[in-house]
Chains A and B, each alone.
Chain A
Amino acid sequence: MRILEYVLLIFLILCAIGATVSKRLLVTVIIFMAYSTVMAVIWLFLEAPDLAITEAAVGAGVTSILFFLTLKKVDSINKGTREK
């Protein structure tokens, strides 16, 4: 159990750094989605199941959808692929 906590926390920090340094905005948003999902698992480890349900629906669902829609509005998804 202890080891799993460490793995999840290290994954969180790596996700945050990855969202910072990645060049394409689409990759950034997807990494942020993974970050939110891992956060939902951590709420379960901290014995807060209310927060786990809310974070899984909000962080990985609605916030990511809003970010994707913004990326689509500003034509950043296609631009990012062309840049590569």
Chain B
Amino acid sequence: MDYKSDPNKIGKWERFFKWVNGEDSIDSVWEKEMRSKITGKRKKRRKTIEDTIERINSYSKKIYIILSVFITVVYIGILLYTVYELPEHGNPLNPANNEVSQRYIEHGVEETGALNIVSAMILDYRAFDTFGETVVLFTAVICVAILLRRTDEDKTDLEQDSFKSDRGDILKFAARLVFPIVVLYGIYVIINGHISPGGGFAGGTIIGAGLILYSAAFGDEKIKSILNYKSITVTTVSCLLIYFFSKGYSFFTGGNHIESVIPKGTPGNILSGGLILPLNICVGIVVACTMYGFYSYFTKGDI
């Protein structure tokens, strides 16, 4: 009962209970301070209108908090009851384990030549859907570029930007050690995507993380010679086009695929699985470029 005397010193548990009961939002004290700091000037001018609006707002806010807690609790209760009624976890006779997954598992290896059945599914049977996912990534990087690209008047304060400074020797040394291993591991994960866990999405993200590390440690001057705006655009678009032309024919031929002319090879070798290996490489390059594009737009505002 301390908090009545000093509202700033509410214990963590009490605050949590209050929040669960819907009496008070958590950050209210901090938020009130911030609000009074920012809006101090404006409040003096239009006090009376603000007062009535604030009163209405506080009532509606309370009702909103109580209602949202109530709705969430009821909703989660219904969902938990549904989970209680579900079939047992891990039972092979569950309705989800039907003939679809059985067909994928039992005929996947001979039909696609890939040992990793998840890769066979997303890059052979359902390859056109994965093309959609890859285009989503490309669209996301375009949207981020539209939102965060620096205009010319912003470029003057690029020099004072704190992203450029404080790169220590430790970071450079560690990056020099770790960067080749990370990229090598990423390439390994991509190339072995059809015979072991991994694939284009995972390996591309690992390579993208390696490029982010390199760019953070050595600055953008070094990496600009390989990865600039033009090269990233050209590689990403050409990978998407290769993907489209190697798998987009099912878009025109309807549901039935034409038989691929590429031999499937013996399952287990690196050069097997028909089109899965080149498609994995395409997806990996697109994902790596996307991750690096996110990073460089978030820091420099330009690739």
Q: Cβ of A53 and Cβ of B202 under 8 Å apart? A: yes
Bitwise interface map of B from 12 to 49 toward A, beta carbon under 8 Å scored 1, else 0: 10011001000000110010000000000000000000
CA distance A21 to B24 in the complex (A): 12
Closest Cβ of chain A to B269, distance in Å, is 20
Closest A-chain residue to B15, C-beta based?
A: A21
Bitwise interface map of B from 111 to 127 toward A, beta carbon under 8 Å scored 1, else 0: 00000101100000000
CA distance A54 to B26 in the complex (A): 34
Q: Cβ of B16 and Cβ of A62 under 8 Å apart? A: no
What's the tally of chain A residues with a CB closer than 8 Å to chain B? 19
Closest Cβ of chain A to B261, distance in Å, is 28
Chain A residues within an 8 Å CB radius of B206 = 53, 57
Q: Name B204-218 residues within 8 Å CB distance of A.
A: 205-206, 208-209, 212
CA distance A66 to B162 in the complex (A): 16
Interface majority SS (helix, strand, loop, mixed), chain B: helix
Contact of A65 with B212 at beta-carbon distance under 8 Å, contacts A49-B197, A53-B198, A57-B205 already known? yes
Interface majority SS (helix, strand, loop, mixed), chain A: helix
Verify if B239 is at the interface (C-beta below 8 Å from A).
no
Closest A-chain residue to B291, C-beta based?
A: A62
Verify if B189 is at the interface (C-beta below 8 Å from A).
yes
Q: Cβ of A62 and Cβ of B199 under 8 Å apart? A: no
Interface centre among A52, A57, A69 (most CB of B within 10 A): A57
Chain A residues within an 8 Å CB radius of B15 = 21
Closest B-chain residue to A73, C-beta based?
A: B298
Chain B residues within an 8 Å CB radius of A69 = 295, 298-299
Chain A residues within an 8 Å CB radius of B243 = none
Closest Cβ of chain B to A49, distance in Å, is 4
Q: Cβ of A50 and Cβ of B116 under 8 Å apart? A: yes
Chain B residues within an 8 Å CB radius of A54 = 201-202, 205
CA distance A52 to B30 in the complex (A): 38
Q: Cβ of B30 and Cβ of A23 under 8 Å apart? A: yes
Q: Name B190-246 residues within 8 Å CB distance of A.
A: 197-199, 201-202, 205-206, 208-209, 212
Contact of A62 with B197 at beta-carbon distance under 8 Å, contacts A21-B19, A53-B189, A57-B202 already known? no
Partner of B162, one of A49, A61, A72: A72
Verify if B138 is at the interface (C-beta below 8 Å from A).
no
Bitwise interface map of A from 70 to 84 toward B, beta carbon under 8 Å scored 1, else 0: 101100000000010
Verify if B294 is at the interface (C-beta below 8 Å from A).
yes
Known: A53-B198, A53-B206, A62-B208. 8 other contacts (CB 8 A): A21-B12, A50-B119, A50-B202, A54-B201, A54-B202, A54-B205, A57-B202, A69-B298
Residues in chain B within 8 A of chain A (CB atoms) = 12, 15-16, 19, 26-27, 30, 116, 118-119, 162-163, 189, 197-199, 201-202, 205-206, 208-209, 212, 291, 294-295, 298-299
A–B pairs, 8, beta carbons within 8 Å: A21-B12, A54-B201, A54-B202, A62-B295, A65-B295, A66-B295, A66-B298, A83-B30
